[in-house]
Chains A and B, each alone.
Chain A
């Protein structure tokens, strides 16, 4: 495998974890978050600091997961207070706050970022395998949660919080759980990203990146794990395969987002379902 292939596959794995974890918050539980990059970034920085301090890979992963979910639960508390459309705005704010804060912190490398992060010792291919294993585990967890009573309750909270409450479902606890799980996985992705690049700057975790993740979720089909995985893989490969898409990335993704919302709100998953239904009827 060439170094190029290894790096593409690694990035795909990381994006799959990020999109699937965002889908747990926004798709399963209906809490629109446009600041997923901040949790990803918190995990990456925490893992970087842990690598410098201990050079212990499992410990750095744990640090990333904890940093992501800690920030996530704080934002989750905000979700208890504000209506869903304001939550989207709040999470945008969190993302800008994160980037603005890190830029000014010399202990986090400021504008220059953190470079020379100790390697994992697994090599590029080893890192890739670790990333792919984690991505598979994330997808498996997402599929399991969706089938469990928790996923069932998430859907109820996402559709009508008050109606869910009158069935004994504590909406607040579920929203916190969704944020806690989703952002812990974003933190995990952050740690893996740190191992992969060994050099992080805050620009990798900005609002534009968060919107890209949301585009993957929406284009894949909000709420569908497989749809989101497909979109995450496809939208990561597209700019690599087509030069034009790479040059006009925001334009292309923005356009696709508008088209999907306008023409196929169910995304890829919805389109596939319709196709199956039609085939069965024919």
Chain B
């Protein structure tokens, strides 16, 4: 199986709302997938299911050929999954460097006993510094993470995700809240990540950037996949177009 990430009929219901209603798809190794959809389409819910922060009512999440549906997030991360949060969650009381060193130490921290028996952080510090430089955060290492502005915190999220040596990264709105310059710099960094051979799944509202960098688009609406394929073709599909431009809203209002 060459799919690094596979969803098999995943569904979840919150009270009366079918947030995700049976999504199946497979992401091939080395792919760059944009997951888009109007507000409330179920994108973040789906990402949370993939990450293990939510347990689906039915269906399977398969990572690198292993069924991880019942596994907690930390186990999935050890299987090669990394994610960034839509709302940044740095360890504010640690330095920027320590935030990334901690992620780079996943080989020790995945097992409390191994963590207890190891002290040296030299190798991880060097790696963390290199990763910080690669996302454009060189020079901020010694600052407290809580002191960074949002633009840099978004980069720190990315740096931490890269430090766990993932096969797939899920990026939940990595551009949200960034100004135009910051956003294009962040997009550049994400492209570099992809070029290093890491599979990227990107949830983003900024359609222009998504169209520019993604090789494949998956469009969600009302919790189901309504489009999947090459970005330009998918966006030309009238069903997708309707969902985005608001045709769906009109029918909803008429109903």
Contacts and interface: CB of A to CB of B under 8 A. Distances in A.
A91 to B, nearest CB: 21
For chain B, which range describes its interface: under 10, 10 to 19, 20 to 34, or 35 or more residues?
A: 35 or more
Contacts of B72: 165, 170, 172
B18 to A, nearest CB: 25
Given A166-B85, A169-B74, 18 more contacts: A144-B119, A145-B116, A148-B116, A149-B116, A149-B121, A152-B102, A153-B102, A155-B91, A163-B85, A165-B74, A166-B82, A166-B89, A167-B109, A167-B160, A168-B103, A168-B109, A169-B110, A173-B112
A165 B89 contact: no
B77 A163 contact: no
A226 interface: no
- A-B complex: 6 closest residue pairs judged by Cβ atoms: A168-B77, A149-B115, A150-B115, A149-B108, A163-B89, A168-B106
B118 A168 contact: no
Interface string B66-97: 00000011110110001101000111111000
Contact of B105 (A147, A152, A155, A174): A152
B92 A159 contact: yes
A171 B74 contact: yes
Contacts of B51: 166
Contact of B83 (A150, A155, A166, A177): A166
Q: B interface, by DSSP: helix, strand, loop or mixed?
A: helix
Interface string B188-213: 00000000000000000000000000
Nearest to A160: B89
B74 A162 contact: no
B117 interface: yes
A155 B94 contact: yes
A159 B105 contact: no
A144 B116 CA distance: 9
A156 interface: yes
Given A152-B102, A168-B74, A168-B78, A159 B93 contact: yes
Contacts of B94: 155-156, 159
B119 A148 contact: yes
B53 interface: yes
A40 B254 CA distance: 68
B219 to A, nearest CB: 26
A145 B115 CA distance: 9
Interface string B114-134: 111111010000000000000
